[in-house]
Amino acid sequence: MIPQEIIRQKRNGGTLSEEDIQSFIAALASGQLSEGQIGAFAMAVWFKGMSREEVVALTLAMARSGETLSWTDIDRPIADKHSTGGVGDNVSLMLAPIAAACGLAVPMISGRGLGHTGGTLDKLESIPGYTITPDAAVFRKVVKDVGCAIIGQTGALAPADGKLYAIRDVTATVDSIPLITASILSKKLAAGLQTLVLDVKVGTGAFMAEPKDAEMLARSLVDVANSAGVRTSALITDMNQPLADAAGNAVEIRNCLDFLAGRKKNTRLEAAVLAFAAEMLMESGVASSVQDGETRAADAVSSGRAAECFARMVRLLGGPSDLLEEPDKYLVHAPVTKAVLATQSGWLSGCDVREIGMIVVDLGGGRRHPEDRIDHRVGVSDILPLGTHVEQGDPIALVHAANEDAADASVAALAANYRIGERQPVIPDVVCERIVAIASN
């Protein structure tokens, strides 16, 4: 295998063979390629694209570049969900224990925050003692005993993806749909899944702001995953407002506990969680329809079984055994809280969700650089949903900050971010579209 010839072929718009792709990724994983060669390959793919067959081959080669997990000793369907990232998107925290309570096994390997979007691992690190990188034996035991475990990716799973992504990040090739597809799915295939549900966000708080781009990414992910042997569907969901009424780390863990206690009924968050639970249960053959799946998921919450699964997962991964009963004992509070007040009377009609995410980052709840430390205390809570009527001076959100100056700056930015109109806006459903494999349509 001559790397430059593979790069040249793709640069000229040619189609790479499965053997070429496997050889290139094997050389990448073993350190035989230079950063220049990896960057040139990524740029060639960015400009010339890849066929579905090429993306399948790339995904499988990256998935097989390290260890792969097997769950043959677990007598449950092996399922997972992945989100392309949003603001106030803590669905995974509730979804994994709900799915486990309904009979699935969910070995969920999650990530940290990226840009303006929050990361599931950063949220879980708000819980004292919670181990996001347990050894393989502990991970397997928790999945087997509880039905779910949410942890971080180890370097042993799909290592080629980590090396390729690091180069993409500094060569302006992150937003290539073939490379995004292979990056997401290689980790999921390495995790030994049987079924997968994807949450592809669209809107001002999403990486894919335009519906056509979100649909293109969702279609690529679904088609490639199914071609690679994992039964997969996707829901395109609205990210034109924060999904939960909280954005941050500890504040989103509190939001999760409230949800599992049944205190977030009739919200957009509940609609999203139940929709994804139903999709997971249908894909795994446990539920016969969306309605059946949503009913099963809602019962898992109302009965307390989902909360019990979450509590056991936290305890077995090193967290406190009484987190659900005593959250204030463990979840840190910010020193300063200040309300964001409506600047006029009317209907909350719009906001820039990416800007809300960046406000959380500015507070210290996210990273501008990989080495930045997270302040788990800070964030925004009690966010009113769009379509709410407010009077001038009513609170529309609550800022949690490390100091007075940071609180004042964030309050001013959030107040300016929200648009308040005279007419009640039409708010789209949280689930915009369902994407399934072409062969199953």
Which residues are catalytic, by number?
Answer: 80-83, 120, 168, 183, 187-188
Contact 160, 62 (CB under 8 A): yes
Nearest residue to 276 via CA among 244, 298, 302, 251: 298
Maximum CA extent, the chain: 68
User: Can you read off the two tokens belonging to residue 331?
Assistant: 């979840």
Nearest residue to 207 via CA among 287, 117, 268: 117
The two beta strands, 395-401 and 336-341, are antiparallel
Name the phi and psi angles at 214, rounded to 5: -65, -40
| Helix, strand, or coil (residue 202) | strand
Q: How far apart (Å, rounded) are the C-alpha atoms in residues 304 and 276?
A: 19
Contact 138, 317 (CB under 8 A): yes
Contact 253, 233 (CB under 8 A): no
Contact 316, 107 (CB under 8 A): no
In sequence order, what E strands does 287-403 have? 336-341, 346-350, 379-381, 389-390, 395-401
Name the H helices within 245-339: 250-260, 268-283, 290-302, 305-316, 327-330
- Work out whether the CA dihedral 307, 262, 236, 410 comes out positive or negative: negative
Sheet containing strand 79-83, edge to edge, reads: 79-83, 195-202, 231-238, 431-435
Nearest residue to 437 via CA among 288, 283, 317: 283
